[in-house]
Structure 1
Amino acid sequence: MPSIAKGEERLILFESPDDFRFRVGYQEDLSLPKGHSFTIIGGYRFKKVNWLRCGVSSCKTLHGNGYVIRSADALETNIGHCCGQTILGAEWKAMFERFETRRKEEALQDVLARVLGTRDATLKQAETALHSLEAAAGTVRRIVTALECYGPLKRAFRDCLKQRGSLAYFRATTADEREMFRGQTSVRETKGHIDGWHAAAVDSNWLARELRFRVIVPLAEIQPDVLRGLPFRALEQRLRDFSSMASIVQMAEVYVEDAAKLSKPLNWHKFELYCDASKVQMDHQGYKALRTLAGTA
């Protein structure tokens, strides 16, 4: 890959005319004598409201798409792309080709830096997520095992998961309610919501496999030297691949957060109220399991 010399000034993308008008050496009216060499140091593309005159004294064409050029004696001015072709001809063509080569080199180096940085950051994040996921999965298994050891609790919890964590149930209406609601015999009520319920609905083993084999292993196998030899489009594809990997890492991180929410004692206090209100048939064993989870056993 072509390299840019250390300390060499980068090309500039000018966002407004003032970005170059106040530069040291800028001339609003500059002649371009033959035999003098110039270099393109940056470019601009302005909306019509910011169009400006060409800075070459023999031109002054109004334009919005152009470049800033610098002479060997450090004088600068702006010039439209078409102006450059018209005024400088073959010399402009050579200048523009050097500019384009440099622009592509810088773009390649920028995307390579992003790929290397994203690869390292995503790998570190994924390894941390996998470690946290394993601990969180143990917490969720403990909760689910405690609930599924007792049939009525198991069924009530599965109903809750089907309702996306809602602790909703139907109860018989009172005489006043039947009169108000024209004979309706039941009404839906809720005791709230199980925070972090999603952790109990996700297969943590599958998520760990996805994290390990679709993120950590592929990223660990990527060699920086191989990346440095890839063309621009291939590097952009790597960034898209890393974005997909980051989505898996995010899923694992959400699972860990949900597991922490699921283990909160308040959840199981609410769940006990829900079981009582929805007439779940429980004995001492069921209440003991819930109160152990709630930390009140």
Structure 2
Amino acid sequence: MIVLNTAKELVRLESWDDIEGRPGYSDELDPSQHKLSSIIGQYAFQAQIRCGLSNCHTPHNRGYLVVTQSGRETNIGKDCGKRYFGVDFENLAVRFDRDMREKLARENVGNFLLRLDETQQRLKDVLDGDRAGAWVYKTSRPLLESARGVPSDIVRAVAAMLKNGQSLLTKDRPATERETQIAEAGGNRVKRPHMITEPIAEIRGLEALREENNLRKLLMVDLDTNLKALEGSDVDTMQPADVMRWSKWVNSVDAGFDRAEAAIRSGHELLTVENLRPFEEILKEPADRQRFNAFLKGLG
């Protein structure tokens, strides 16, 4: 790939023939007879390209297209440029690389703005569709926050499972005397009453409740807020720092959608009566069972 940095835009060329056919290009430029004027492009190929300096010709995969003060053009690698043109080349390369990063970022943001309406519609579908992001977020919060309809015993159990990275719901019960004696016979120091941990069920979709999958942060705080901030923006008048910041964010949008959509799928696995019903076994009070059953009925 070859990228030329013109005054107005970046121009991409696929073939090295396009460079060799440019007026003024030479693959036998004598660096002792010429002084650099500017760097006008860069290239990267799997096959190696020969340096265009007459006293070098070192093969390389990545390099720059340069113009001399006499108007002659050639191609050189980074090491060749430093060796034969010294500080002049290094200064031009720093300036060129900075300008390229900004133009690529401006191009990236500009292309994103062209599909802004499409992205906003995608967000609407992911957020507000039937049992989509808003439903999963609102419906799942009681499993994480006390006093929102789910008994505290279940909220604590969910928190412990998330902390330990496990999906197996368990319940502790007092051991029988026989079980206690067996434990003691095994050489273990047993505290009485001895407790036995028994498995109840595997709970699917708990990853939907992890903080990194928080749908409000992914869809509202990040995507919705930033999409609204970009509405009506003119990429051509953006300050360089803003362009770089927005370009970095634009590059994260698809990953944000992917994470949100995965969290919604996990939420659908989680938020079913069949999947959550086993939590009822850890409840001790009838009133807690009634509250939890009311929550389950609300799942539809």
Using the TM superposition, give the Cα deviation of residue 198 of structure 1 relative to its aligned residue in structure 2, in angstroms: 6.5
State the superposition RMSD in angstroms.
5.8
**Alpha-carbon separation, structure 1, partners of 2:99 and 2:283:** 71
Distance across 2 between alignment mates of 1:157 and 1:140: 13
* 1:194 Cα deviation from its structure 2 partner: 2.8
Bigger RCO of structures 1 and 2 (CA < 8 A, at least 6 apart): 1
Aligned match of 1:89: none
- The runs of 5 or more residues in structure 2 that have no matched partner are 1-5, 163-167, 185-189
Deviation of residue 29 (structure 1)? 7.0
Matched, 1:195 2:195: no
- Give the conservation status (yes or no) of the 8 Å contact 2:53–2:74: no
Deviation at 1:31, TM superposition (A): 5.3
1:280 counterpart letter in structure 2: K
Question: Which amino acid is 1:136 matched to?
Answer: V
Counterpart in the other structure of 1:179: 181
Distance in 2 (CA, whole Å) between partners of 1:156 and 1:52 is 68
Secondary structure (helix, strand or coil) at the match of 2:201 reads strand
Q: Superposition pairs for residues 1-297 of structure 1, below 5 Å?
A: 2-4=7-9, 9-10=11-12, 30=28, 32=30, 42-43=41-42, 55-57=52-54, 59-60=55-56, 67-68=64-65, 78=76, 80-82=80-82, 84-85=84-85, 106-118=100-112, 120=116, 123-131=120-128, 132-137=132-137, 139-140=139-140, 154-164=151-161, 167-182=169-184, 183-184=190-191, 185-197=194-206, 208=216, 211-212=219-220, 215-223=223-231, 225-240=233-248, 253=261, 255-272=263-280, 275=281, 278=282, 280=284, 282=286, 289=293
SS of the aligned residue for 1:167 comes to strand
Distance 1:143 1:225 in 2: 40
1:40–1:241: structure 2 CA closer, same or farther, 3 Å change rule? Answer: closer
Contact 1:108–1:231 (CA under 8 A) maintained in structure 2: no
Residue type of the alignment partner of 2:182: M
3-state DSSP of counterpart to 2:106: helix
Distance 1:223 1:229, change over 3 A: farther
Q: AA paired with 2:204? A: D
1:255-281 per-position Cα deviation (integer Å, ceiling 9, x unaligned): 533431222343135335xx1xx5735
The C-alpha deviation readout for 1:153-181, integer Å capped at 9, x for no partner, is: 83542342232365222112234432232
User: Is 1:122–1:246's contact at 8 Å kept on the other side of the alignment?
Assistant: no
Q: 1:239 to 1:192 in 2, by over 3 A?
A: farther
- Between the aligned partners of 2:64 and 2:222, the Cα distance in structure 1 is 45
Q: Which has the larger radius of gyration?
A: 1
> Cα deviations across residues 42-87 of structure 1 (Å, max 9, x unaligned)?
44799xxx99985433x23869796456999x9966472146538x
CA distance in 1, matches of 2:210, 2:155: 9
1:65-117, Cα deviation, whole Å (9 max, x unpaired): 96456999x9966472146538xxxxx98xx96x8877665543321122244
Structure 1's unaligned 5+ residue stretches are: 13-18, 87-91
Give the letter for the 1:158 counterpart. V
Give the match's secondary structure for 1:181: helix
How many aligned positions are there? Answer: 259
Question: Scaled by the length of structure 2, what TM-score is found?
Answer: 0.55
